Amino acid sequence: MRIKFPDNSAKEYEAGTTGLEIAGDISQGLARNSLIVRFNSELCDLTKPLYDDGSIEILTFRDEEGKKALRHSCSHLMACAVQKLYPGTRLGIGPSIEDGFYYDFNIPEFPGISVFKKIVAEMKKQVKENTPFIRKEMSFEEAVALFEQKGEKYKLELLEELRDAGESISVYSHGEFVDLCRGPHVPSTGYLKHFELLSTAGAYWRGDENNEMLTRIYGTVFDSPANLKEHLSMLEEAKKRDHRKLGQELELFIIGGDGGPGLTYWLPAGTIVREELENHWKKAHIKAGYQLVSTPHIAPVGLWKTSGHYDYYRDNMYFLSIDKGEYALKPMNFPGHIIIYKNSKRSYRELPMRLAELGMVYRYEKSGVLHGLMRVRGFTVDDGHIFCTEDQIVEEIQKVVRFALYFLNIFNFGYRIELSLMDPEDPGHYAGKPEEWRKVQLALAKALDEMGEAYRSVVGEAVFYGPKIDIKMKDALGRFWQGPTIQFDFNIPQRFNLTYVGNDGQEHRVFMVHRALYGSVERFIGNLIEHYAGNLPGWLAPHQVVILPITEYQLEKAEEVESILTSLDIRCAIDSRNETVAYRIREAETSKIPFMLIIGEREVESDSVALRIHIEGDRGSMKLDEAIEIVMVGCRRPELP
RNA sequence: GCUGGCGUAGCUCAACUGGUAGAGCAGCUGAUUUGUAAUCAGCAGGUUAGGGGUUCAAGUCCCUUCGCCAGCUCCA
């Protein structure tokens, strides 16, 4: 048979050769690292004998599919160990997930995380035995008989669905353990040396809250001890950077508790961070051709009935009655912007019209989903709405994408673009006609293509009123977060009958783009805190400079320095407490203050200061002017776009 | 919302099977006049989240409300 490789070269092999043998033919290293193969675009086990001509791709841990196979295989290994230690355990499902895998079980009397050691020991034993994973195809009836005999009721439920879908049935076994599984798997349990069990949690069978709750065990597995270790230390680091912890330590904000779950109280230091972010945002938006507006926090319910949000999101809104009317706390800002747009008859000469507002919105989030600043019930959307003609769509979208990337670049976030499309299987969820959707989705794709930005399309992620471009931002630990979102909307302009008069004197339908770059100011600050581990860049640092006179005899000089820095718009304070210098430096360091200016007798005599920079350490004495210059550079606000 | 866990001083945590709520840091007062990550001493700080119950006796056991944490479902 003739086998083609990804580089387009080809080679003859005897029929019945396996992917593993082909990998070994290429190099021993590849054979060692290979996990599964893609043969004629189908994923299969390395040990599967191949008989036909075709193209092959050997997949390792570097490939997403290879990683998945390794992780999924490990979930089988764990399931086997759990079932062995806790007879009577029924199996749910055990997929690979980003960064690991899990398996859902119904375990009678599971004692919890304390028994991880026992499970790990059993898994290690099986890794050592290096038992092969064996695939077996069988008829539906055979499979039912097999799992009935084992009492695996969940598997029987899954089987029913596979029958309805007309899929062929395969099972994988290693040793005594058998599981219904599509595969592929790595060749044997010996591949699974570098695993760790991480946590346990409850999870509904099939993710449905009406079903019974199973025990889910999370774990992860890597191809090498170094990669496993790196991942585990990343998890540790993430814990240290938790914005809730840092927010409390740095006295940035309070959230929940007596103040009400999901509600944020910004402390003075946190308010400075907010203000800086918001001020820069405002300046940048004005420069980019936006007009700032401001709209109320409540609005009559009729507005949300017209927009369609009442029908879609009523359960997540807060209502109040005023006089004889019903009002709602705004869950979004755009109706206010629509009212502003409709304030007068609009001409094509005014378009594109870009309105922007840092608007606080309130959404009822279920109590269990609240999470620090990342998920709250009241938050500030840095909202912008662009009203434009059809011809302007592509250019406006591109401008917004560039603007969004400008913001991410300020903070050194990486990014990944997703184009969220409608789900053609579920047209009822979306407002508007499918052909309109198709047209607009193509326009968004065109906008990205022209810019040369890579993106991936995600079907079914669109908002009900239109497709969107989501930019996920990547932080210093490599984690992705919800970032800027650019939502096209051809629906709401119709509902609100938004028009403009064209140069032909006729009224035309206007098009609308919703966009947020920080997303939520609250969540964005949460992201920044974790991204920078609390060491915010100078311009955002609540306290930028602390001045430390060594004794009270240098207090006068310190006050002089303070007044110079204050006049230069630097946030500084003197710490002249009756404590040792070491004590006060320690406090400034733990408060993550970027700059410390220490003034002793020597400095007073020579009009200099000793500069110490947070984390870096002592920079020694220098002329005051020189130190001020370093501070000014370190606290400089970002350039406008 | 669901399942599970947790709630002790401003913060971090002690208090064996029910038996007098304690420490460090922070705070306040005083001494010390300090040269690059914690000077010393003293003082004060609590309805053990709220409510109810069992008991001679409850931080500890039971019920309940609230809040927090993890995960699930959800996230315009």
Residue A108 has pLDDT above 80, yes or no: no
Residues of chain A with CATH 3.10.20.30: 2-60
For residue A120, give the 3-state DSSP assignment: helix
User: Which one is predicted more confidently, A152 or A525?
Assistant: A525
Predicted confidence at residue A1, as pLDDT, reads 85
Q: For position A41, what pLDDT does the model report?
A: 85
- List C-alpha distances in Å: A8 to A33, A39, A439: 21, 14, 36
Nearest to A329 by CA among A357, A355, A300, A305: A300
Burial of A605 (0-12, 13-18, 19+ CB in 10 A): exposed
Question: Which of A1-5, A25-29, A211-215, A596-600 has the lowest average pLDDT?
Answer: A211-215
**C1' nearest to CA of A551: which nucleotide?**
B33
Residue A209 is given by DSSP the state T
The crossing angle, in degrees rounded to 10, of helices A268-287 and A393-410 is 140
- Shortest-distance nucleotide from A583 CA to C1': B38
Instruction: Specify whether the CB–CB gap between A599 and A561 falls below 8 A.
Output: yes
Strand B nucleotides with an atom less than 7 Å from a protein beta carbon: 1-4, 11-12, 31-39, 66-76
Mean pLDDT in residue range A434-440: 86
Residues A162-203 pLDDT 10s:
777 667 788 998 988 999 988 899 999 999 999 988 888 778
Q: Position of tokens 């449905």?
A: A208
Q: Strands (DSSP E) along A464-614, which ranges?
A: 468-474, 480-489, 499-501, 507-509, 511-520, 545-549, 572-574, 595-599, 608-613
| CATH, domain range A65-241 | 3.30.980.10
CA-to-C1' span, A588 to B39 (A)? 18
Residue A617, pLDDT > 90, answer: yes
Distance A241 CA to B13 C1' (A): 21
Domain with CATH 3.40.50.800 in chain A: 545-634
CATH of domain A545-634: 3.40.50.800
Average pLDDT for residues A54-81, to the nearest whole number?
A: 91
CA–C1' gap, A154 and B20, in angstroms: 56
Instruction: Report the protein residue whose CA lies nearest the C1' of nucleotide B34.
Output: A580
List the one residue out of A500, A469, A497, A498 whose CA is nearest residue A483: A469
Whole-structure pTM over 0.95, yes or no?
Answer: no
Q: Provide the CA A231 to C1' B14 distance, Å, integer.
A: 34
Residue with tokens 């995600």: A458
Q: How many C-beta neighbours within 10 Å does residue A95 have?
A: 12
How many Cβ atoms sit within 10 Å of the Cβ of residue A363? Answer: 18
Give the closest nucleotide to A516 (alpha carbon vs C1'): B76
Spacing of A316 CA from B37 C1' in Å: 48
Its CATH class, for the domain covering A2-60, is alpha beta
The rounded distance, in Å, linking the Cα atoms of A408 and A576 is 39
Residue-wise pLDDT tens digits, A318-356: 999 999 899 999 999 999 999 999 999 999 999 999 999
Q: What is the pLDDT of residue A166?
A: 67
- Grade residue A444 by pLDDT with cuts at 50, 70 and 90: very high
Instruction: Please state the rounded mean pLDDT for residues A537-547.
Output: 97
* Residue limits of CATH 3.30.980.10 in chain A: 65-241
pLDDT confidence of residue A499: 96
Measure the CA–CA gap between A404 and A448, rounded to whole angstroms.
Answer: 13
Cα torsion A406, A408, A412, A415: sign:
negative
What are the b/e assignments for A537-546, b being 16+ CB within 10 Å?
bbbbbbbbbb
| CATH 3.30.930.10 residue window(s) in chain A | 285-295+330-531
Q: Classify A553 as helix, strand or coil.
A: helix
Token couple for A576: 């002249």
Report whether A408 contacts A473 (CB < 8 A).
yes
Q: Average of pLDDT values for A522-550?
A: 97
Side-by-side strand order, sheet with A325-329: A298-300, A325-329, A319-322
pLDDT of residue A590 exceeding 90: yes
Whether the ipTM is more than 0.90: the answer is yes
Q: What is the mean pLDDT of residues A509-533?
A: 96
What radius of gyration do chain A's Cα atoms show?
30
- Strand ranges across the sheet with A2-4: A10-12, A2-4, A54-59, A36-39, A42-45
pLDDT-based confidence at A111, cuts 50/70/90?
A: low
- In three-state form (DSSP H/G/I as H, E/B as E, the rest C), the secondary structure along A244-303 is HHHHHHCCCEEECHHHCCCCEEECHHHHHHHHHHHHHHHHHHHHCCCEECCCCCEEEHHH
Q: Provide the 3-class DSSP secondary structure of residue A112.
A: coil
Q: Using one digit for the tens of pLDDT, what is the confidence trace for A355-378?
A: 999 999 999 999 999 999 999 999
User: A624-634 vs A555-567: helix axis angle to the nearest 10?
Assistant: 40
Q: What's the Å distance between residue A115 CA and nucleotide B50 C1'?
A: 36
CATH topology of domain A285-295+330-531: BirA Bifunctional Protein; domain 2 (3.30.930)
User: A226 pLDDT exceeds 80?
Assistant: yes
- The C-alpha angle with vertex A152 and arms to A147 and A156, in degrees rounded to 5, equals 65
What angle do the packed helices A153-165 and A140-150 form, to 10 degrees? Answer: 170
Q: Which nucleotide is nearest to A586 (CA to C1')?
A: B37
* Nucleotide closest in space to A203 (CA vs C1'): B72
Query: How many CB atoms sit inside 10 A of residue A344's CB?
Result: 8
Tokens for A140? 């539906």
Please name the residues in contact with A291: beta carbons below 8 A apart, sequence gap of 6 or more: A353, A354, A355, A356
pLDDT at A632: 98
| Rounded distance in angstroms from the CA atom of residue A367 to the C1' atom of nucleotide B61 | 29
Summary mean pLDDT of chain A: 92
The confidence score (pLDDT) of residue A112 equals 66
Q: Which residues contact A641 (CB under 8 A, 6 or more apart)?
A: A284, A287, A288, A403, A406
The arithmetic mean of pLDDT across residues A271-277, rounded, is 97
pLDDT digits (tens, 9 = 90+) for A287-307: 999 999 999 999 999 999 998
For A564, other C-beta atoms within 10 Å of its C-beta total: 14
List, as one string, the DSSP characters of A465-492.
TB-EEEEEEE-TTS-EEEEEEEEEESSH
Phi, psi (degrees; rounded to nearest 5) at A295? -130, 160
Pairing of strands A54-59, A2-4: parallel
pLDDT at site A114:
67
**Nucleotide closest to A596 measured between CA and C1':** B36
The distance in angstroms from the start CA to the end CA of chain A is 58
Contact between A225 and A338 under an 8 Å Cβ cutoff? The reply is no
Q: How confident is the model at residue A76 (pLDDT cuts 50, 70, 90)?
A: very high
Output the furthest CA–CA distance in chain A (Å, rounded).
94
- According to the model, what pLDDT value does residue A553 have? 94
